[in-house]
Structure formats: C-alpha cells, structure tokens
A and B are shown apart, each in its own frame.
Chain A
Amino acid sequence: MPASDTPSVTRRSAMAGAAASAAAASLPPVALAQAPSAAAPAGALEAPVTATLSLTVNGEAQSLELDTRTTLLDALREHLHLTGTKKGCDHGQCGACTVILDGKRVYSCLTLAVMHEGDAVTTIEGLGRPDSLHPMQAAFVKHDGYQCGYCTPGQICASVAMLEEIKAGIPSHVTADLTAAAQTTAEEIRERMSGNICRCGAYSNILDAITEVAERQA
C-alpha cells in the first residue's frame, strides 16, 4: 500500500494469515486479518488487528500494543489503569470520559487510541494529586461540586480546558457579539459546560466552583 504509512501488507498476504507481530515490528500501525466470511460486508475481517502506539500520558511516555478498535478511553482505563477517567455512555452523550488532548478537551470514548501516535493526554490523575490538588479540583471539593462523583473527573477536565477556550477568544452559542471577546459569565459557563451531564444534578455547585477559579484567574 504505497498510499500510506501502512507496511506492505497486501490483501493476499493478510488473507494468508501472516503474523500480526511480524508486521507490527516493521512500522505502526499495522494491518492484518484473516479471510472474510461469506455473509459479511465488503472486506470484512474476522480476527482482531493489533497496532503499536506511543503517546504521552500525564507527562509520561507510554508504549502500547492495542487492538485497533481500542478507544482512547479504554486505552487509558483498561491498559494504563488510569481509571479516573470514567465511561458513562461510550457514545459522546455524557462527558464523563473528557480528557485534555494536546491542550484541548475531547471525549475519549469517540476517538481511537491508534489515532493518537505522539500526542499528549492529560487525565484527572495528571491535573493534580491528592496532596497537591489542581485549583479546579480544590474548588470542586470546597463547593461540593458533586454527589456521587462519577461525572466529576470529566467535569474538572472539561472546565479547566473550557476556561482556556474563553481566554483564547473562542465564542460560544450564547456569546452575544461574535466580534467581541467572550466573558466568563454564568450563562457562558453553563453553555460551555453543557457537554458534561451530571445525573446527580450538582450543577449549581459545579458552576460555583468554576466561577471561583475563573475569577481568581481573571
């Protein structure tokens, strides 16, 4: 496949069942499979395909060998055992899996780990430690910005990156004047945090916590 980074694994050699590890050694990511079954969709594969991946998580270099299907969320939780990042819906509908990827907040459930070769990820574990909390973590504790705590790591990662978005001048749906700098009002924070659902309804305390940090930064 000259068109890509993929090592020279042709369809024929893939169907002949070449060993995944052999190709993995040559260059990540890797493409291998068994013969497709008759009833399956075009080109369907039966066996899992693995790929190797290097990325930085909370400042530490990590190398992984993963099934290509592994989401960034599952790589963090199941392979790196960083279980602070939560899986709520696994479909981009709740925000529990929010992490900071190269400085930007994203849902780790809707991106593949193999797509993040060389990237830098910050999870709740990397923002602060129990003995040295990030100001946003401390504010959530102070304001009781949670009940069960399940959405909290996502809320905190999202809010830290959200304040950076305001500083960078990114507008929101409720920004009245698109050509003026966005303000850190309650309305702005609520809209910008709408991608993090809290089933316990701790929203007003979450807002207080974020507002306090925003005011301190201002």
Chain B
Amino acid sequence: MAERSFKEEVEKLRLGAGEEFRGEGILAITKALLESGVSYVAGYQGAPISHLMDVLADANDILEDLGVHFENSANEATAAATLAASVNYPLRGAVTFKSVVGVNVASDALSNLASGGVTGGALVIIGEDYGEGSSIMQERVHPFAQKSQIWLLDPRPNLPSIVNAVKKGFELSEISNTPVMLEVRIRACHVHGRFETSDNVRPSYTLRDAMENPRRQTDRIVLPPASYLHEKEKIEKRWPAAVKFIEDNKLNEFFDGDLIDIGIVMQGGMYNTTMRALELVGLADSLGHSRVPLYVMNVTYPLIDRELIRFAEGKRAILIVEEGQPEFLEQAINTIFRRADVQTRIEGKGMLPMAGEYTGGVVRDGVKAFARAYRPETISDAPPSNEGAVRIAAAVKAIENNVHARPPSFCTGCPERPIFTALKLVERELGTHHVSCDIGCHLFSILPPFNIGATTMGYGLGGAGAAAFNTKSDKRAISFVGDGGFWHNGLTSSIGNAVFNKSDNVTVIVDNGYTSATGGQDILSSYADNAIRKTHNSIEKAVRGVGVEWVRTLTHTYDVAGMRDTLREALTTKAKGPKVIVAQSECMLNKQRRERPLVNKAIKDGNRVVRERFGVDPDTCTGDHSCIRLSGCPSLTVAPNPDPLRTEPVTKVINSCVGCGLCGEVAHAAVLCPSFYRASIVNNPSGWDRFKAKARGAVIGFLQRRIARRQYAAA
C-alpha cells in the first residue's frame, strides 16, 4: 500500500472528450497515456515519478477495463526491457523511472532497444530530479539520449503541453522507429493545473494478439551483422524521419517579439522560469507576450538545424537557456551555425551559470545581463531602494547562525532508527567501523544524530560498496541494504558477490516491508497482502538460497539490546563467510496510516483500546540529551527547564509519540537517566479495569497524601 492514495483522483482518468481535467501533472500524464491507446505500462518508483506508479496502481481497474497491462518492474532495467514488446508488434508501451539513476540502471536495455528500433510507439517517461530537494547526484539524462539515439522531449511545464508531448511522442516514435524519452521536471510532475481531455482509446492491437501470433524479425535483433546496419539506419532513415515529423507538427515553438535582433532559445522545461525572468526585467507581461523573440525547444534531441538557422536570421545574438552541464545544446548550436556560416553570436553559459539549478533569480540575472549587453536601452535599471537593501542586510545579519539546516530524517517511531542506535552502542564497545550505505531511508543515518556511514554507491549496492574491504583485518566492514535495494539488485550485487568472493563482512538488510523512501510501494517481501501482486517472499530464504550460512532475522528492531548483541556477534564471530542480519519491522509511516483510522474507529465504537506513549519527568532529566543523540525521533524535543536552579532545557516527548518503545529500550540499553516513563492510556476501560484502578487508587492515594504531608515546601 503506497503512502499516498489516488483512489479518488483516478476517477478523473475517466473524463471524456471536451471535459476539463484539473489536477496534478503525473495524473495528467496517465490520462494522456490512456488517450494515446497505450497497451502496456511499467516502471520503477522514485521521486518525482513515484506518484505516477501509485496512480497507475490505484487505476488498475480502469486500466484493465481498457485492456492496458500494468507491471511493477523489479528495477529500471526490467522496465526498459519491457519495451521489447514494441519491437516486433504495433503495441504502444510506456515505462517510467527517475532520472538519472533510473536511466543508469536501464541503459543496457535502452541501448539494445534503440539499436534495433521499434515498431509500436515506445515512450520512456523520465522524472527529472535536478535541483532543490533532489536526493541524487546532479547529472543530465541528455547524453544517454544522444549516445543511444533516443529522442528527448522536454515540454513546457504546463499540463496541455505535457499531454501533447505524450501523444506526439508516440507518433514520433512510430514514424522514426525510435524510442522517445519524455523528460518531466520535478515541479512539473507535481504542478496543479488544467487541460481539456479527450476520450480514452482502447488499443486496437493487443498483447494477446501478439502472444497468439508471434512474429520475429532477425534484422531487429542486436547481433552482427544487423547491429552494424542499425547504426547506419539510425542516421540515414530514422533521423531524417524524426526531423521531418518534428518540423511538420511544429513540436518546437516560435514566439514573436518586437526586439527582432535578439532572441532566446530555451529548453521547453525552462519556459515558465524564463518568461517570469523576462517579466521581472520588463521585457514580457504575465500573459506570455515577450518583447524578445523566443524559440522553445520542446524537443531537445535531435536539434532541428533549419529551425535554428531560421530563428537566428537577422539576429545579432541569441541567449541559450539550458539547465545543467555540459552545455550540449550550446555546443551543438555552435556547430550548426558554424557549418551554415551563421554569424549570430551565441550566449549561454557565459551569462548563466554552468552548473546548478536554474531558479527564477538565476535566470532573471542571466536574461538581464543578455539584454544589457545587446539592447541596453530596453532595461530600466531602477536603482534598488536603498532602505530596502539596508533592511534586508540587517535581517540577514540578525539571523546569522540562527537558521539551521533541517534535512529529512527518520520519522517518529521509525523502526530503522533503533538499528543505528544499536550500532552506536556496539561502536562504544568495539570502536568505529567502515560503514557502506545504500539508497533508502536508512541513508539518513549519515546525518546527525547518528553520523554513521562513509559512502553510498547506488541502490542495492551497499554490500558491493564494501567489496574491496575483503582482506585480513581485525575489524569487519559493515554494509546496509534496504529491502527495496535488496530486490532491486542487491541480492546478486551485494549478497551473492560477498558469498562468491568469500567475504567475512557484515550486511544488515533493513526490511520494513516497503520501498519506503520512494513512497511506501509494495515489493516481493512486503508483509501486506496485495490484490494484484505476490508478496510475502522471505528475504532470509533468498539470502540462504544464494549461499549465506550465517543469517539472523530479528523481527522487532526496537529491541535495541537484542540488535546490539546480534551486531556484536556478527562483528566478532569466528564463523567464515558473509554475516547477514535481516532487521525486520514495519515502516511506521505506513503502519500508522493503516492502523490509526481503525484505532480511532474502535475507540469511537466504545471498544477497549490501550494507547501507549512515552514521557520524560523534567525533575529527573539532567538536560544532557543523550537520549536524543541516540534516537533523534522527531517526537523527542527539548523544552525549558521548569527547575529555577537549572538552565539547560529538558528533554520532552510530544504528543505525536506513537509509543514505539525505543525511548525505553535506549534508556535501558545505554543506561541513561531514569526519566523516561511509558504512559498507557486505556480508552473505554472495562468494569474490571475500573475496579482495579479504584482499588489501587485508594491505597496509592492514601500513601501519597502521607508523602505530601511529610514533604517540606515553602509556605
């Protein structure tokens, strides 16, 4: 069960011709797929297209009604290989994953797909995760498209443009026998907007038709000599076909302006930001009228030489707004102009930064620099108000060091946190170790308060990242792999590799039942039942299956002492071969989402329900905050010390505590202060509960009055 449910919103996928769709980008993309007559969709989750996978899962009924097949791929390579169905058959297929990591994993399949080419339209929807909030390395997808010759669409970030790109993308793919990538930036994936819908289209040729009438064309298979011919065909046939289609269908857009001797060329995805930048320097209004002529490349590969040359006609200079590096577009346009002997100056990375996100402020400054260089009279450089600048400077100075970073971290009650608490405790005994991390929520261990972990080499590669440390040593390396990464490829890359190479290292597989970091999607080992997938496949069995002998499964990660002892044993045992610990407890975010409504209902219905939460007694808390350093739970915070003699803030547990129990376990295992208590609140107590409470209350109350009477206090 995914973190976010789209059950209600997917009803919008049923809208027919002429109706208005209002909603999020990813939902609009799904609608566009259905309107395009797609036969199958597949993918692997990851921001920003996790929700696209969730939408598809929640829309499975609608998809089945239309005869569309949906797969949750094992990883991005699987997703890309799924497109093989479009090689021999006129089937439209779409797959989706996140850039650039998804493309990295998928690139083997993508290369093979692109070499042979496709018959049915093949669309790869890339969720671009570049800039603010991104969780991955900052790289471009562009060179992947270039090297494999896959066309790359980068539409303007509004719903009508994105929907149009999906539809035209399929046509382009079919006409040029080439797979097409559709790049959608993170904010566009989540943008709330509108577009006019058409009817959904049922695929005319189905997967079943193909399976019952199999076809093969040996010249489409990547094997010599066909592969040499593919390379030629790409240039001689597929490229010109694509260029013609893009020109005929006006996929790239020209916008006129009165400053005809300059112009701006941009990636489609940069359009809104560039328009706002122009507006802010007085060269456009908010309704899309620009004084500077614009050439918007909704297709960033291939480039259309003729269009670029036409745009440059009569222009002294153009500015290229191209996010990311290297500046592939700028280089290519320079080459095009040189070959055609076009004299227009090309500005780009000289006026805009080479690297980093092109935010509104950055583009505004670049556009301003460009206008000032070529049409200085058009920008009125009103001196910024002095008073304003002074005030801002004063404010910024006042908050110096008073604004701390707030990176994401483990949620309240997260079952992964105690694993790292235990590791910290083991390190107190055995010293620090080299720790290789993976991708997933567990990577938050590298941040305070845990500060654990040295590298992360990719999804499922936690164990692989420690592979070299496989030599005689007094300490073992520790790696982490999540359940998501484990099934993605970790079973072979991390575990199988360690077995085969006779590694002695320790691998902790964090099994919380979902790919939690991407939004809580189900995987092979999920404990939940899933109507359309087979879950409940044991990680331990898989690990033993590839030859690990030392495996320990802990089914309650909150048992810090147990976890600590198991880690200690794994790090010190004489047993040979890899040591694998499967640390198993359900993701709290998902658990709460599942259980909270049930609990609330039970209480409402008058059933006996016990809720637990933790608390700290401020009068025994010393304000040392060891407990927070060993836990970092968001429900654990500090509060002013009520004791007039003490100044350090005390630890406080806020009401969002879900009573996971870690606080108590830590207090015990690390021998902290005796300040933690667990409060059990009995809702709708039974008669017996009430009787017990009354009886106890009588005795305890009597003794307490006695205690109070003896206590000294100022009158």
A, B assembled together: no
